[in-house]
Structure formats: C-alpha cells, structure tokens
C-alpha cells in the first residue's frame, strides 16, 4: 500500500500544469529575497491564492512567473497580499495575457 501511495504521489507531483486558452501569465517583481527559503515561502503563499496554477521564482532576477487560471478572477491586490503574508514585498506586476 505504501508503494502504491508513493507511486501515485510521484505521478501527481511530476504531472505538468494543464494550460487552457483562457489562462494568463503574470510577472511579479519580488523584493527582500536572499535565499531558497525565501523562494519557498513566497511560492507556497502564492499557490494558496485561488486560481494560481504554477509559480516559478528566479532568486537572481527577483521575479516570479505565475500561471493563472483564466476562469478565475485574480487581481494584483491578492498577489501582493500573498507575498506580504510570506514576509516580503512586491514591485511591478505585469499581466501578459
């Protein structure tokens, strides 16, 4: 049973995010990050926002790429709040689609 659970978990975690035509991409400037722990904290907090499907953070550039479900209404304030909840701040937020 434990092996079956481990296999199912591996498949679930390695499954790619499914994109739809309505999905949007957001680039967010992140301030105050110094290490991978910071990246993990921000990523976890952003993934709690309903509609955020995927978060990729570049520590060197100080930016995050977010993939947002186009069928949900996510706004700048929700994203800023999630980053602030993790203990960091934001700069520019740019919606691509």
β-partners of residue 13 are none
Residue ranges of alpha helices (H) inside 1-97 are 2-14, 36-47, 76-85
Q: For 41-91, how does the pLDDT look when each residue is reduced to its tens digit (9 = 90+)? A: 999 999 999 999 999 999 999 999 999 999 999 999 999 999 999 999 999
pLDDT at 40: 98
* CATH 3.30.70.100 assigned to 19-95: yes
* Alpha-carbon separation of residue 71 from 16, 22, 37 (angstroms): 19, 7, 31
Residue 8 predicted with pLDDT over 50: no
pTM of the shown model: 0.78
Query: What pairing do the DSSP bridges indicate for beta strands 52-58 and 63-68?
Result: antiparallel
pLDDT at 22: 80
């Amino acid at each position: 049973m434990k092996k079956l659970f481990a296999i199912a978990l591996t498949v679930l975690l390695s499954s790619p995010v499914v994109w739809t035509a309505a999905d949007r991409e957001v680039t967010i400037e992140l301030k105050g990050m110094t290490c991978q722990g910071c990246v993990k904290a921000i990523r976890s907090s952003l993934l709690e926002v309903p509609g955020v499907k995927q978060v990729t953070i570049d520590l060197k550039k100080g930016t995050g790429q977010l993939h947002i479900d186009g069928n949900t209404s996510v706004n700048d304030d929700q994203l800023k709040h999630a980053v602030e909840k993790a203990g960091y701040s934001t700069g520019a937020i740019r919606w691509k689609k």
